[in-house]
């Protein structure tokens, strides 16, 4: 793995994250908050949870896409400036998880918007989520250098 500063050359700073809840059960969401709080403390890398998709580089999406949230997820994706990375956090947004087969679910997420990194787990551990973010930065870097 290339060192982080080299990975961030393309962005010029640490990646900023926007979190979308598309109807998850909260467990992935509280693990995302746990990533930002003292035990795991992603903010020491400069990874910040921003309050608008227009400021974000990486979208963390949790939950199977519930029918009422479908348009909103698409709209948030369109509002995020390029280059952007989408991380599907948790089993639900990756594969629908236990809710597969329900009448009001339009997921998994990659049916709705393009997904770059999948973080599997119900819920994934905070370390996994951080690792997913690092993977997304690597992909961003590879895109910039024309490797993909």
Partner 1 sequence: MAKSGDGAKSGDGAKSGDGRRREIVPTITIPIGPIHPALKEPVNFRITVEGEEIVDVDVRSGYNHRGIEWLGLRRNWIQTLYLAERICGICSWVHPFCYTQAAEDACNIEVPERADFIRVIIAELERIHSHLLWVGIAGYEIGYDTILHITWQVREKILDLLEFLTGNRINYGMGMIGGVRRDIEEKHILKIDENLKYYKEAADQLINIGLHDKTIEKRMKNCGILPRKDALELSILGPTTRGSGVRKDVRQDEGYAAYGDIGVKAVVPQDILGSVTGDVFDRTVVRLVELKQSVEIIENALDMMPSGPVMYEKKPLKLIKQMQKESGEGIGMHEAPRGEVIQYIRADASDKPARWKIRSPTINNLLACRPMLLGDQIADIPIVVASIDPCISCTDRVTIVERDEKRSKKKEVLFTMQELRGRFKRKVFV
Q: Mark 116-135 with x for binding to partner 1 (rule: CB under 8 A) and - for no binding.
A: ------xx-x----------
The answer to whether residue 104 forms part of the interface with partner 1 (CB under 8 A) is yes
> Please, what is the minimum distance in Å from the beta carbon of residue 101 to partner 1?
7
* Among 53, 27, 14, 38, CA closest to 119: 27
Q: CB of 142: closest distance to partner 1 in angstroms?
A: 30
Among 56, 58, 76, 109, binds partner 1 (CB under 8 A): 76
Nearer to partner 1, 4 or 30 (CB): 30
Chain positions contacting partner 1, by CB under 8 A? 20-31, 33-34, 37-39, 51-52, 63-64, 66-69, 72, 76, 97-99, 101-105, 122-123, 125
């Amino acid at each position: 793995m290339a060192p982080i500063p080299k990975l961030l050359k393309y962005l010029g700073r640490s990646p900023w994250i926007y979190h979308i809840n598309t109807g998850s059960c909260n467990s992935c969401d509280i693990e995302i908050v746990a990533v930002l709080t003292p035990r795991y403390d992603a903010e020491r890398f400069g990874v910040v949870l921003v309050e608008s998709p227009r400021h974000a580089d990486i979208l963390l999406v949790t939950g199977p896409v519930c029918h009422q949230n479908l348009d909103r997820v698409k709209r948030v994706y369109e509002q995020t400036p390029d280059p952007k990375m989408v991380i599907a956090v948790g089993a639900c947004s990756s594969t629908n998880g236990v809710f597969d087969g329900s009448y009001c679910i339009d997921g998994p997420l990659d049916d709705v918007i393009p997904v770059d990194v999948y973080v599997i787990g119900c819920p994934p551990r905070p370390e996994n989520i951080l690792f997913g973010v690092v993977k997304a930065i690597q992909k961003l870097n590879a895109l910039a250098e024309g490797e993909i």
